[in-house]
Amino acid sequence: MTHADRSPHAVFSDPWLSLREPADHRARDAQLTHAADRWLAQRHRDAGPFAHTGQVVDLGSGSGSNLRYLAPRLAGAQHWRLIDHDADLLAQARLRCECVASADGQPIHLETRQSTLAEAWNRGWPEADLVTASALFDLLTAADIEHLAKACQRAGCAALFALSVDGHIRFDDAGGRPVTSDDDQFAFHALADHQQCDKGSGPALGTRAPAVLRENFHRHGFRIREAITPWRLGPESLPLAEALMAGWRNALHEQVPTQVARIDRWHEQRLGELMRGQLSLTVGHRDLLAIPEPPR
């Protein structure tokens, strides 16, 4: 599949993913990561006395940000399979994950596979210990999540899903007090609607993704832990805030083409306030850890 065959909403540039990476890594929940590490250690102990290489599958891996966060926080040798439909991003991942080692200095073996996620659910991952993804699920459909939960259930693996947007967006003033206007509410509602547009296989989950993940994995026999992991974009994150606001303006033009002047006024005002340090911006996400319940 080439870029031209994909919905423009499922194409991501490496500069954008690189720009967001520091904010993503700051936002992620350390306790869920630690709990995933403890679960993997227990699974390796249960497997017997031989050294075991942890098998990790990263869905919609892009250029490897999730591996760069997670692999150095997990102990033991690891084999990572990075799955994405974008060959250019996978090539970047191979370059930029070369020097990553585990928490205890063990090697990380990296395999990249250019594939759609639909193909990935169909093949499954029977050998996986952990399936992971970051910043992915708003793009997918409810049917995708059902297939994902089933594939994880069949494998008996754990799942750690970071940074699913939850729709909580807020501007705060310099004293940390929320600031809101009718234009903010109009923009945030229209953005939520835009996130649910079809990315190629039906209406996307958008901000419903955290709830749909929780419900599906619970129903498929997993114990769920969740954490709130927002981006907090202040003066140190202006380039990211500016790029995000530009993306929002484009999305709003698509979503409400009759309101371009209102959107541009709102965008200019809020961006100016961010740039002058009068406001900061919080963008809500959730991390979710799903651990298979032991058989009764």
Ligand X SMILES: C[S@@+](CC[C@H](N)C(=O)[O-])C[C@H]1O[C@@H](n2cnc3c(N)ncnc32)[C@H](O)[C@@H]1O
Give contact residues for ligand X (rule: CB under 6 A). 10, 12, 17, 24, 60-62, 65-66, 84-86, 89, 116-117, 134-136, 139
Q: In angstroms, rounded to a whole number, what is the distance separating the alpha carbons of residues 181 and 43? A: 51
Report, in Å, the least distance between residue 243 CB and ligand X: 13
Least separation in angstroms between CB 1 and ligand X: 9
Nearest approach in angstroms of CB 46 to ligand X is: 29
Q: Is 138 exposed, middle or buried (0-12, 13-18, 19+ CB in 10 A)?
A: buried
Helix (H, G, I), strand (E, B) or coil at 76: coil
SS3 81: strand
154 phi and psi angles, rounded to 5 deg: -60, -40
Q: Could you give the CA distance from residue 127 to residue 226 in angstroms, rounded to a whole number? A: 25
Return the number of the residue (237 or 266) whose C-beta is nearest ligand X. Answer: 237
Q: Concatenate the DSSP letters of all residues of 132-197 into one string.
A: EEES-GGGS-HHHHHHHHHHHHHHT-EEEEEEEEEEEEEEEETTS-EE--HHHHHHHHHHHHHHTS
Identify which of residues 3 and 265 has a Cβ nearer to ligand X in the complex. Answer: 3
CB of 44 to ligand X, least distance (A): 25
CB-wise, 128 or 135, nearer to ligand X?
Answer: 135
Q: How far is the CB of 91 from ligand X (least distance, A)?
A: 12
What CA–CA distance (Å, rounded) separates 179 from 166?
A: 19
For ligand X, give the closer residue by CB, 108 or 279.
Answer: 108
Matching residue, tokens 């406001």: 279
Q: Of the two residues 22 and 178, which places its CB atom closer to ligand X in the complex?
A: 22
Which of residues 60 and 210 has its CB atom nearest to ligand X in the complex? 60
We find the least distance from the C-beta atom of residue 177 to ligand X, in angstroms, to be: 31
Closest contact distance (angstroms) between CB of 204 and ligand X is 10
Min dist CB 197 to ligand X, Å, is: 14
Asked if residues 75 and 105 have their Cβ atoms less than 8 Å apart, the reply is no
- Cβ-based nearer residue to ligand X, 279 or 283: 283
How is residue 233 annotated by DSSP? E
Nearer to ligand X, 10 or 169 (CB): 10
Structure tokens at 13: 């540039």
Tell me the CA distances in angstroms from 170 to 214, 231, 284, 294, one per residue in order: 24, 11, 9, 40
* Pairwise CA distance, residues 189 & 271, whole Å: 18
